Amino acid sequence: MKRHLILAAALLLTAPYAARAADIVHPSYKAPVYQGPVAASWTGFYLGINGGYGFGTSDWDSPPVSLDPSGGMAGATLGYNWQTGSWVWGLEGDIDWADIKGDTACFGGSCEFKDEWLGTARARIGYAGWNNWLPYVTGGAAFGGLKADNSLSGTTASKTQIGWTAGAGLEWAFRSNWSAKIEYLYADLGSFDCGTACSLVTPDNVSFKVNLVRAGINYRF
């Protein structure tokens, strides 16, 4: 009987320590709270670079020919965005070196056209409702440095033309301050009088319309 009482007392004294050891061996575990991706803030100034390809048409009155100039372009971009909820409102300008050119046979020689530089000043409206993606539409003014001549004339007509542009694009914020984009623009720079540089008959109106496909990288301040 005495032995049984001693054994019972020993079990009662060691029970709390056994429970504590069980807690140490099997600690409680809680899974970390899920946090979704942080959406980018598009508000602020940004600076970037862009490059791409242009292809279009240049129609001449005299001689009545049509050229298909094409070529590459690259340059710099500057803009500002203002975000209100899921909508992003912005202004963007760019200036690009261009080598968009073409030629065709005419008057026993060659009629040649070239766009040496191209710039735009546009408004943008985008929707930032899909995490860090920003689809947008854009439109505004376009500017270009155009040249045209007939190889038989020995002279070249140069003109800075102002027209309009419109298009759409998709931009992706892949880091806190960086984004990448791809866009399409259509630009119409109207026409100018090439004069005797293109034909013996004046006036000789030369037009230029171009499709632009460009990619770019921007840094937001």
| Residue 198 burial (10 A CB sphere; 0-12, 13-18, 19+) | buried
pTM more than 0.95: no
Answer yes or no: is 134 within a domain: yes
Give the pLDDT confidence of 139-162 residue by residue, as tens digits. 999 999 999 999 988 889 999 999
Q: Could you tell me which residue, 34 or 195, shows the higher pLDDT?
A: 195
Asked if pLDDT for residue 14 goes beyond 70, the answer is: no
Measured distance CA(172)–CA(139) in Å, rounded: 20
Answer yes or no: is 152 within a domain: yes
Asked if pLDDT for residue 206 goes beyond 60, the answer is: yes
Measured distance CA(48)–CA(29) in Å, rounded: 47
Lowest mean pLDDT segment, chosen from 114-128, 163-177, 194-208: 194-208
Strand, helix or coil for residue 156 = coil
Asked if pLDDT for residue 198 goes beyond 70, the answer is: yes
Percent of the chain with pLDDT over 90: 70
Token pair for 41:
């803030």
Domain count, the chain: 1
Residues in the chain: 221
| Residue 70 burial (10 A CB sphere; 0-12, 13-18, 19+) | middle
Give the pLDDT confidence of 22-48 residue by residue, as tens digits. 444 444 556 554 344 457 789 999 999
Residue 9 pLDDT: 45
Asked if pLDDT for residue 81 goes beyond 70, the answer is: yes
Measured distance CA(55)–CA(213) in Å, rounded: 9
DSSP string, 157-206: EEEEEEEEEEEEEEEEE-SSSEEEEEEEEEEEEEEEE-GGGT-SSS--EE
Answer yes or no: is 29 within a domain: no
Answer yes or no: is 61 within a domain: yes
Q: 165 lies in which domain range?
A: 46-220
Answer yes or no: is 14 within a domain: no
Answer yes or no: is 27 within a domain: no
Answer yes or no: is 63 within a domain: yes
Residue 203 pLDDT: 78
Single-letter amino acid code for the residue at 26 = H
Residue 11: beta bridge partners? none
Answer yes or no: is 24 within a domain: no
Q: What is the average pLDDT across 165-185? A: 95
Give the pLDDT confidence of 46-72 residue by residue, as tens digits. 999 999 999 999 999 988 999 999 999
CATH of residue 130's domain is: 2.40.160.20
Q: What is the average pLDDT across 86-110? A: 95
